[in-house]
Amino acid sequence: MAKKRIIPKPKVKKAAPKKSKSFTVPMQVWFYLAGFVLLFICWYITVASNTAFRSSAYYVYISRGTDIEELSDTLVERKIIKSGMTFRWMASMMHVETLRPGMYRIGKGWGNYRMLDFIDDAEIRASQLIDLAEYRSRKRTIKELCKLTNINENDFVELLKDEDEVDDLGGFTTESVYCIFRPGRYRVYKSSTPKEVLEYMACQYTQLWNDERRAACKRLDLTEDEIVILGSIVYSETKQRSEMPTISGVYINRLQNNMKLESDPTALFANNSMDSKRVSNKHISIESDYNTYRRKGLPPGPICIVPEFVIDEVLKYDEHKYYYFCAKGDKSGCHNFATTYDEHLQNAKKYRSGLDKKKIYK
């Protein structure tokens, strides 16, 4: 039998593996990229905003002998500028070494070049120290401030009523703007304009809120302005500093439980009757955003001017279970505190009885 012929299969050539195409960035692209990065760095150091304050302007006083390093550290510490390093770099490139003593106005949004050019070349204006006394009345405080700074009171009041002006100061309203005023010593230009005085007070208010106080605000879930507004109520309720944290705790308990504050001073303020000794039904029934007997939450602005120490007493409020308090009626300025409304009614009865015995009328 003949052998079957085996025909060999043709060999299939394996396809050579495809070579991966390598992508090479042209040198021209790298050149442009490097140029863009360089331009960005130059822009960031010189022109980009390096300010960090809330107000529309910051007034800094440079004392004799202050150098760039010291000024940079101060501005960073007070959170006036974001980057002290770029500020110093810019000063080095501009050969700014010695600083002339005086007060300077730095505008919000300024870059390093504009700030240093202004500080190095601005006309030095004479300044003065003023002492703003402690007045609870908003109107009295404004009147005294205008007198001390020698500005027109009517012009200043008109600025306070201008919604755009007060918003530019740092997001204030025509009511909350009164948060920026407090008693103390201030350095102002001798020839200030009403706007400069307003900017300066807003600037000083910004500096009040350091890291510690801001952290306390966050723990309370209240804004800085709301703390001042609450402080104005507490300050109107008592002259006893030792009671301020306790009274603050009462109002914070009410706020956190969505209760009306029902504060007598707010009703009196709404009626323009802050000097009244007694609060009547007429007082608490008035329709006003300041009347916390009819409106929940805090009023839109402070009902008086709040000193710095009151703000600190509010921020370190006492944690307790009191929801009510009532004056003792013995002119001591102290209060009785209660956890229940029934207990509060008993305290109120004692208060009225005390007033009747002393024949204290409104």
For the whole model, what pTM was predicted? 0.82
Mean local confidence (pLDDT), 296-311: 96
The domain spans of the chain are 57-121, 127-208, 217-358
Task: Give the side-chain half-sphere CA count within 13 A for 205.
Answer: 27
Determine what percent of the chain is predicted with pLDDT higher than 70: 90
pLDDT at 251: 96
pLDDT at 12: 57
Q: In this model, does residue 10 exceed pLDDT 80?
A: no
10 or 307: which carries more pLDDT confidence?
Answer: 307
pLDDT at 18: 60
Q: In this model, does residue 8 exceed pLDDT 80?
A: no
Determine what percent of the chain is predicted with pLDDT higher than 90: 61
Which tokens go with 187? 């350095």
Per-residue burial over 140-167, b = 16 or more CB atoms within 10 Å of its CB, e = otherwise: ebbebbbebbebeeeebeebbeeeebbe
pLDDT at 46: 87
Distance between CA atoms of residues 192 and 31, nearest Å: 52
Q: In this model, does residue 6 exceed pLDDT 60?
A: no
Q: In this model, does residue 333 exceed pLDDT 80?
A: no
Which tokens go with 353? 């009885």
The total number of residues written for the chain in this structure: 362
Mean local confidence (pLDDT), 6-19: 59
pLDDT at 362: 44
pLDDT at 296: 94
User: Comparing C-alpha atoms, which of 202, 187, 182 is closest to residue 62?
Assistant: 187
Q: What is the pLDDT of residues 190-215, one digit of tens each?
A: 999 999 999 999 999 998 999 999 99
User: Comparing C-alpha atoms, which of 284, 255, 258 is closest to residue 271?
Assistant: 284
pLDDT at 361: 47
pLDDT at 9: 59
* CATH class of the domain whose range is 57-121: alpha beta
Confidence tier at 345 by pLDDT (50, 70, 90)? confident
Q: What is the pLDDT of residues 104-121, one digit of tens each?
A: 999 999 999 999 999 888
Q: What is the pLDDT of residues 216-242, one digit of tens each?
A: 999 999 999 999 999 999 999 998 999
Q: Are 323 and 339 in contact (CB under 8 A)?
A: yes
Confidence tier at 21 by pLDDT (50, 70, 90)? low
Q: Cα–Cα–Cα angle for 198, 232, 141, nearest 5°?
A: 40
pLDDT at 288: 95
CA torsion 173-152-198-136 (nearest 10°) is -70
Distance between CA atoms of residues 17 and 259, nearest Å: 78
Q: Are 125 and 191 in contact (CB under 8 A)?
A: yes
Mean local confidence (pLDDT), 311-319: 95
Mean local confidence (pLDDT), 118-139: 91
What is the chain's mean pLDDT, rounded? 88
- Three-class SS of 226-294: HHHHHHHHHHHHCCCHHHHHHHHHHHHHHHHCCCCCCCHHHHHHHCCCCCCCCCCHHHHCCCCCCCCCC
Q: In this model, does residue 354 exceed pLDDT 80?
A: no
Q: In this model, does residue 356 exceed pLDDT 70?
A: no
Q: What is the pLDDT of residues 240-286, one digit of tens each?
A: 999 999 999 999 999 999 999 999 999 999 998 888 877 888 888 99
Q: What is the pLDDT of residues 30-81, one digit of tens each?
A: 777 777 788 888 888 888 899 988 888 899 999 888 999 999 999 998 889 9
Q: In this model, does residue 359 exceed pLDDT 70?
A: no
